[in-house]
Structure 1
Amino acid sequence: MTTPITLSAPEYTDADFRRLQAIAQEQAGICLPDTKKALVYARVSRRVRELQMASFSDYLAFTTSPSGTVEMEKLICSITTNVTGFFRERNHFDHLRTEVMPSLIPVLRQGKKTRIWSAACSTGQEPWSIAMTVAGSFPEIGNYDFRILATDINSEVVARAAGGIYGRDELEGIPERERGLYLEDDGAGSLSFSVSLRKLPSFKVLNLNAPWPFRGSFSVIFCRNVVIYFDDETREALWARLSERLEPGGFLYVGHSERVANATQCGLVNIAPTIYRKEG
């Protein structure tokens, strides 16, 4: 009979936490306050144990070494929070449907390109909610030059989002009408989005605080409940970069507890709580 290996709790010092704070800031712009020390331990210690390392110090030495590139991504994934839901903060989707789509539909009919960006898509509920909203406003949108770019720093949640498959217990927030139109039973207890809706979003891994590998502009950007993890300097720099990517007259949606403090400098006008429009 084989005796199971029991791994002791990995050593975790104040110095290790300081190192983690620096890594999170440098790699992802995430500000980890001192109050998060225990939470970080709970999340990262699993990776330390899986690699059978005795201490956080050993783990961080490996992660920051030339051979630790893949593990660095796993580390960042472990300290990011992915709380989301379909049609979360519904006023944004109501605004998209009633105020934005009526102006975008004529542009699409003229054969022009239109793009929407879900800048922190997590497990995909936000971009799929966007897709249902625009398809509900313009059912033939799949025949036009329209796409939703959905990005997140966490490759694991991006892969899940791209799959477009959700359990029945995850569908809270989707109205019955949309469920009937856009979701199909996969026969295994889950539902997946229809082929027609799958044409709309494109899912990519992206660090918002690193260079962006695209040059195009967007009519709408959703960047919600992300900058609460950044310090003021990182936050204001990101708002400015997002504004640069907005078309004149385009809209930026932010989280319910967020605001663009440097809106005027970015050329943004606050037209409603958590909704900004680019001047021009």
Structure 2
Amino acid sequence: MTEADFAFLRDYLRKRSGLSLGAEKRYLVESRLTPVCRRFNIATLTDLVGTLRVSREGTLEKAVVEAMTTNETFFFRDRAPFDLFRDVLLPKAIAARSPQRRLRIWSAAASTGQEPYSLAMMIQEAAAQLAGWQIEIVGTDLSTEVLEKARLGLYSHFEVQRGLPVQLLVKHFTQVGEQWRISPSLAGMVSFRPLNLLNPFEHLGQFDIVYCRNVLIYFDAPTKTDVLERIAKTLAPDGALLLGAAETVIGLTEALVPDPQHRGLYRQAAAAGRTAVPHRLASGF
């Protein structure tokens, strides 16, 4: 792959997925796109670039973009954002939404489903306080391949061992051969939809809580700003956004501000300062 080929692919991926690759990532492009070449019977990466320059073949474009996306995830990843959901966000939502008895949550980089299913498990732990509520968890991702796995709700022994407490495994999963299938009640709480965050997402509606973790780190600053400002518009006025540990809104947008009491939590700037910290939700989890 020539320098010109690499430059083309960097620009191509940035425009279609937001992925911002540094010059040192050439090896990553080569290792991930070489299998795509084999799949489509393309001899070399230079030939792949030549095809992409002139072709609007959607299947090939999709394969190139999906091959370069990172889908690392596991149940209750990083733990702190889920403790925050249990101890702060869910109790606050129960108090604030009790007249409507409706709660909408968006997992904006759902990958193979572990994040939204982890949230669904925590909601079920609070089932007594949410009887009669309409709960909707929407999981989106750029990759349709990982979303198919998320919809199946079928995980390997290795996957359920990563972050999932054994009592929740026994409670919410059924063993199927050497794999584990998530319960129908949890699966019914989550809907999965393909979505490129570079594209409009107003059609998803308004959300009370948005998890958009470990995806902005792959974007350049203008793309981060654009995505964050559009996410802010999807939030309910008292809604909450959670980002990854290495992500922030500072220096990128004034539409969102950090919550002074909780790291990784952000709120609409107009609503900042009007939130109170609720009591911890009674739960054995």
TM-score, normalisation: structure 2: 0.87
- Bigger Cα displacement from structure 2, 138-147 vs 164-173: 138-147
33 and 155 in structure 1: CA distance in 2 versus 1, 3 angstrom threshold = same
What does residue 209 of structure 1 align with?
A: 198
> Once the two structures are superposed, what CA deviation does each residue of 1:43-82 show, in whole Å capped at 9, x if it has no partner?
0011112222222232233345455111111100111111
**Greater CA drift, 93-102 or 72-81:** 93-102
* Deviation of 1:233 (Å): 0.9
3-state SS of the aligned residue for 2:259? strand
Task: Indicate whether 1:68 and 2:61 are aligned.
Answer: no
1:121 correspondence with 2:110: yes
Mapped pair 1:185 → 2:175: yes
Provide structure 1 residue ranges, at least 5 long, that are not aligned to the other structure: 1-11
Report what 1:163 is aligned to. 152
How many angstroms apart in 1 are the aligned matches of 2:174 and 2:129?
Answer: 19
Deviation of residue 157 (structure 1)?
0.7
* Matched residue type, 2:30: Y
Q: Could you tell which deviates more after superposition, 61-70 or 51-60? A: 61-70
For structure 2, list consecutive stretches of 5 or more residues without a partner in the other structure.
272-285
Query: Structure 1: how far apart are the matches of 2:97 and 2:184?
Result: 21
Which residue number in structure 2 is paired with residue 41 of structure 1?
30
* Match in the other structure for 2:229: 240
Which deviations, in whole Å up to 9, do the C-alpha atoms of 1:192-224 show, x marking residues without a partner? 111111111101110001122615111110011
Q: Which has the higher contact order (CA 8 A, sep 6+)?
A: 2
Q: Alignment length, in residue pairs? A: 268
- Provide closer, same or farther for how the CA distance between residues 39 and 264 of structure 1 changes in structure 2, counting only shifts above 3 A: closer
Worse-matched range after superposition: 224-233 or 170-179: 170-179
Displacement of 1:112 in angstroms is: 4.1
For residue 30 of structure 1, report the CA deviation from its aligned partner. Answer: 0.9
Larger mean CA deviation between 101-110 and 144-153 belongs to 101-110
Quote the Cα distance in structure 2 between the aligned partners of 1:169 and 1:77: 23
Alpha-carbon shift at residue 98 of structure 1 (Å): 1.4
1:27 and 2:16 correspond: yes
Whichever residue aligns with residue 221 of structure 2, its letter is D
Any idea what SS the aligned residue of 1:191 has? strand
